[in-house]
Amino acid sequence: MALPDWNAMTQALEAIGEQIALIPNYVDEFKQQYPLQRDVMQQIEQMRQEIQQGHERQQAFQQQIQAQVAAMQQGLSAMQKGMAEMELRIQARTTNATRDNTPSLAYAPIPAGGVEPPNGPNENIP
């Protein structure tokens, strides 16, 4: 059995000791770099929050626009319905007027004195 090489072991332990002695330097270096890393992480977090807030504002704006479009579509639909009803009324009056060759009441002139009661001008007055 061979004896261990004490010189090699001593050199290895000295190399390990030298590396251990450098640890405080690494710690100091880390301490110097860490605040910068922390600031960068804080900036990244702030940017993430700003992006999230911007996304939320964009969604709220989009919902607002969608609500306005829906309201405008309802208004347009109501206007189209009203115009269709008016057109039907005009067609009915025109058809009635041309059927018997008498003017429709919609186009009848109003008398100069106003509209008279059905039984004559003074029939309803006691």
Dist. CA 73–CA 61, nearest whole Å = 18
Domain count, the chain: 1
Position with higher pLDDT, 73 vs 44? 73
State pTM to two decimals.
0.41
d(CA 104, CA 121): 22
**Residue 75 belongs to some domain of the structure:** yes
Mean pLDDT of the chain: 77
Please, which pLDDT band fits residue 112 given cuts at 50, 70 and 90? low
| Residue at 101 is within a domain | no
Cα gap 10→6, rounded to integer Å: 6
Tell whether 87 is covered by a domain. yes
Residue 75 lies in domain: 14-96
Residue 103 falls inside a structural domain: no
Tell me the one-letter amino acid at 106.
A
Q: Which one has a higher pLDDT value, 109 or 60? A: 60
Higher-confidence residue: 100 or 56? 56
**Residue 64, token pair as written in the block:** 């607002």
Q: Indicate the pLDDT class of residue 1, thresholds 50, 70 and 90.
A: low
Residue 79, pLDDT > 90, answer yes
d(CA 63, CA 124): 61
Q: What is the DSSP letter of 107?
A: G
